[in-house]
Amino acid sequence: MTMPNFPITPPVKPMLAKPVQSVPANDSVTGGLIYEPKWDGFRCIVFRDGDHLELGSRNEKPLTRYFPELVAALRDNIPDRCVLDGEIIIIRDQRLDFDALQNRIHPAASRIDLLAGQTPASFVAFDVLALEDDLTAASFRDRRAALEQALATSQPPVHLTRISHSQTEGQRWFEQFEGAGLDGIICKPLDLPYQPDKRTMLKVKHSRTADCVVAGWRPHKQPGPDGEVMLGSLMLGLFDDAGVLQSVGVAAAFTQQRRLELVDELGGYALGEGEPHPWQAWQDPAAHEANRLPASTSRWSAGRNLDWFPLRPELVVEVGYGAMEGDRFRHTAQFKRWRSDRSPESCTYEQLERPVTYSLEDVFVSG
């Protein structure tokens, strides 16, 4: 993208946040803190120079072609020459819908146009890097004031995130807004300049644990040091009210040595010849065609290779997770420990804490 005489040009890596365990006090840093809702979407840097507008992702890849409806809305709602930092989200039934957002990344132009109409995206702005001039050296206090002025007349689907100077209100948002699909709170030092790719902000995210059935494992995308197949993630299940084991996500975060050890340890739980599996009915070999591995032959598909190994659902593992997206973990769960004291049948949805439903409309409204 060409932006003549403009101080900031893509790609730019966004400023990041480091995790803390609880909502910090306002006076815990010099100059004080601002509290913001933590939006669960695609982080996005918006670059605009007149009619030319570009959306850049957190990993510096272009998002522009996937959200044509948002490009049009931004042209109508943001200054002619600016660089904004924010989040692309999709709102359905007054909640954030991360699954629908992920589905928007599609190679086919016809599919992109269809989804732009069916599940239109919104943009939530929470920082500004440039307004004619470079603002990255300015304090967040001054950048926020400039952002409020720049978006004073903006209309949905372009939003300005709300802020608070109160730790008490930040804590309340942390507890309530999860019901609308948000996943925590961001805390920004008021004196902080914009520092791309630096973890200089703070974030507080929901953290919970659950006991899950291990029903299979996926190989790691890379082989071991001697070409061995390594475990990439454990496939997790929970029993629903009808007693059916449902897939809820995966657990990862293992060292290379542990990935190799787990392949051997889980071998004792591999399915025997003709032994059924709870997920056999919905297993579709075609869905794994692109990621097949030579070692992962399945009896369910007449010798065709799949990208996961089914196990007898006898092992129970405790995992850490942040939030649910429908009936599945929103993000990869973190392995905590094996639970030999728990039976697989005890791993049900009833153990999960469900946040009270909250409307996104109330999250957007300030004051």
Helix 68-77 vs helix 109-118: crossing angle, to nearest 10: 60
Q: What is the pLDDT of residue 283?
A: 53
* Cis peptide upstream of residue 219 (ω within 30 degrees of 0): no
Is 3 part of a structural domain of the chain? Answer: no
Q: Is 245 found in the same domain as 178? A: no
Q: CB-based contacts of 84: which residues, under 8 Å, 6+ apart?
A: 45, 46, 48, 78, 125, 127, 128, 129, 147
- Reported as a single tens digit per residue, the pLDDT across 176-195 is 998 888 889 999 999 999 99
Q: Is 140 found in the same domain as 64? A: yes
Is 356 part of a structural domain of the chain? Answer: no
Mean pLDDT, residues 245-264:
93
- Reported as a single tens digit per residue, the pLDDT across 210-245 is 999 999 999 998 899 999 999 999 999 999 999 999
pLDDT-based confidence at residue 282 (cuts at 50, 70, 90): low
Region at 245 (left for phi over 0; alpha for psi -120 to 50; beta for the rest): beta
Can you give the CATH number for the domain in which 98 is found? Answer: 3.30.470.30
Q: Is 287 found in the same domain as 239? A: yes
Question: Average pLDDT of the chain?
Answer: 88
Q: Is 345 found in the same domain as 248? A: yes
Please, what's the b/e burial string for 217-233 (b: 16 or more CB within 10 A of its CB; e: otherwise)?
Answer: bbbbeeeeeeeebbbbb
Q: Is 29 found in the same domain as 137? A: yes
- Domain end point (choices 152, 178, 205): 205
Is 76 part of a structural domain of the chain? Answer: yes
Is 303 part of a structural domain of the chain? Answer: yes
Is 2 part of a structural domain of the chain? Answer: no
Q: Is 219 found in the same domain as 195? A: no
Model confidence at 7: pLDDT above 90: no
Is 8 part of a structural domain of the chain? Answer: no
Q: Is 216 found in the same domain as 110? A: no
Active site residue 38: yes
Is 267 part of a structural domain of the chain? Answer: yes
Region at 94 (left for phi over 0; alpha for psi -120 to 50; beta for the rest): left
Q: Is 320 found in the same domain as 290? A: yes
Which domain covers residue 220, as residue numbers?
A: 208-351
Q: Is 212 found in the same domain as 100? A: no
Q: What is the pLDDT of residue 86?
A: 97
Written as six digits, the tokens of 354 are: 């469900």
Q: Is 92 found in the same domain as 67? A: yes
Is 366 part of a structural domain of the chain? Answer: no
- Domain end point (choices 205, 238, 266): 205
Taking the chain, what is the end-to-end CA distance rounded to the nearest angstrom?
A: 38
DSSP-derived 3-state class of residue 204: strand
pLDDT-based confidence at residue 354 (cuts at 50, 70, 90): confident
Model confidence at 54: pLDDT above 90: yes
Q: What is the pLDDT of residue 359?
A: 86
| Catalytic entry in 13, 38, 198, 205 | 38
Q: Is 275 found in the same domain as 182? A: no
| Structural domain total, the chain | 2
Q: What is the pLDDT of residue 207?
A: 81
